[in-house]
Structure 1
């Protein structure tokens, strides 16, 4: 009986974290869509960021929305269009025989994404590892007593 209650408590806690993460990502994509106003291809990029913002917002307010056919079709269509755009950009760079790729916007963007991903992983790693060790108590069983009291 206690196990069921504990499992339900863990599930509700994880659901709250899931909703918060989706809300934050929705906010991020909405702001990313907004700052594209001064871009020459604003409509293209705004749509590219607005679709994930809407999908994350639906997921944040109603997590079961991911089970609907409309949500899945929109998500699949967005992935398909994004993949096609990336393929077209790659083909254009190849066809035009661009040798100095970092002088092009298409070449600098992945480097920026890599830098941001590295910064985020460095920032998030301590929190994720702390949560992992906090949840899995058996990993701490062989630690000295002064380490066990630190968590």
Structure 2
């Protein structure tokens, strides 16, 4: 999906050259992507509030929403890192949370037997 390829490419560029976050093209692409992901996340959240039938993580849109939140937070951190190259405690805390969020979600779902019991058959053999 393009929505994940763009941040992956932008993050790869930051990994190869951290100073790229000051580049006008990099900043423009990341700002546009953050804006579009934010709009998409708002529309998904609104749709989920109106039509949610199960737990948020059971809905495809809910999982997609979490992915968009992770993308937006991560790109936002990269985007703001050009202003404060040394970083800060808040940025470190957000980066740690964003990095651990998928793992914490997986552990929660794996431990929650009620949630696992309602999985489709093809999902029960994955873990």
When the two structures are superposed, what TM-score results if normalisation uses the length of structure 1?
Answer: 0.40
More helix by share: 1
Higher Rg: 1
Greater RCO structure (CA 8 Å; 6+ sep): 2
When the two structures are superposed, what TM-score results if normalisation uses the length of structure 2?
Answer: 0.45
